[in-house]
Amino acid sequence: MKQEIINSLNNKFSNRRAIAQERAYNNLLRDRKNAKFAEYEAKVRELSFEVGKLQAAGKEKESKQKHDQIENLKVLMSTQLAGMHMTRDDIEPQYECKKCNDTGRIGLNYCSCYKKELYNMLLEATGSKKKLANFAMFNENVATDQNQQKQLKALRTKFESWCKDYPNVEVKTFVICGATGVGKTFLTECVASSMIKQGYLVSFISAFGLNSNFLKFHTTFDASKQTYYDVLTEPELLVIDDLGTEPLLKNVTTNYLCALLSDRLSAGKATIITTNLGLNQLLDRYGERVYSRLANKQTGNMFKLSGDDLRLKK
């Protein structure tokens, strides 16, 4: 669940910051056993307090004089530390990120270090076992057929814009049809990667895995029952790969697929489905109820990718 991921990351940053502070404080306590160091350090703390009061009173000249005294004392402190085979770095918290001091935030915004770790955790949560493709890797010129190139370029433009505008978009359900190797999965990875970078939870699941979840939900009657369905409704983007390759289970596949599509639409969540089936085949296999949710032009788009197997072109 996304909130669990965020909570885990926040705890990770809090612990990281606390460890750095504790290490520095323990070193400071040990160094204070040196009488000279303790004398200089106490004087620095005293003068620092006075500087604060003088600055608040607008007495810049007096403040600067006190500040100069502090700097001289710090030089003496460093000399004492050197005699103990230590430096000032040992008594000051050494945070991993110097920009946010391991808070994960700079002002009201997330620090780049936090965003990077959140991206990695969200990526891990997708269920994908490899690094995802992204739009920077998208090259429609891999296709030699001009019509295929135009198709791919148009889809890239559409989905880049869609990712940028999400969640303020009307269409949130997509079906991408086409033969093996025409670029369906690559395109969904690009979309997923872009969404994850924006901090959204994304999940990949095969049609077979989806059907398995439906069956577990259908046949479970204990407290774990709802989790089999919640993992499909929680992600902001759910990618269902190779719809049509799963066995049709009576009272399970079609009924729960229909419910899932409806629930995700009601919650304003996005769903992308890839399939080798044509539109008429989807209608024949899943019936009018499922097809109507996929083909609703107000909330869904269906695309047919044609052309050669691009994997053979690389």
Owner of token pair 């996929």: 294
Tell me the pairing of strands 109-110 and 173-178: unpaired
Q: How far apart are CA 313 and CA 294, in angstroms?
A: 31
Report, as ranges of residue numbers, the positions in the chain whose pLDDT lies below 70.
1, 127-130, 143-144, 307-314
Task: Show the DSSP H helices in the chain as ranges.
Answer: 2-31, 35-56, 60-83, 112-125, 146-165, 184-197, 207-219, 227-233, 253-266, 279-295
Tell me if the bond preceding 93 is cis, omega within 30° of 0: no
pLDDT at 312: 47
Q: Where are the domains of the chain?
A: 2-110, 126-312
φ and ψ at residue 102, rounded to 5 degrees = 60, 25
The string of pLDDT tens digits covering residues 274-300 is: 999 988 999 999 999 999 999 888 888
Kind of pairing, strands 300-305 and 105-106?
unpaired
pLDDT of residue 259: 95
Q: Name residues whose C-beta falls within 8 Å of residue 163's C-beta, 6 or more positions apart in sequence.
A: 191, 194, 195, 198
Q: What is the pLDDT of residues 128-147, one digit of tens each?
A: 656 788 888 887 777 667 88
In this structure, are residues 133 and 190 in contact, taking their beta carbons and an 8 Å threshold?
Answer: yes
Pick from 296, 286, 224: which is nearest to 264 by CA? 296
Which tokens is 288 given?
């009018």
Q: Which DSSP letter does residue 236 get?
A: S
Spatial separation of the C-alpha atoms in residues 50 and 66, rounded to whole Å: 8
Q: Cα(first)–Cα(last) distance of the chain, in Å?
A: 37
Query: Between the CA of residue 201 and those of 92, 118, 143, 198, what are the distances in Å?
Result: 37, 10, 31, 9
pLDDT tens for each residue of 52-90: 898 988 988 989 998 999 999 999 999 999 999 999 899
Tokens of 67: 């500040």
User: Helix or strand or coil: residue 33?
Assistant: coil
Fold of the CATH domain 126-312: Rossmann fold (3.40.50)
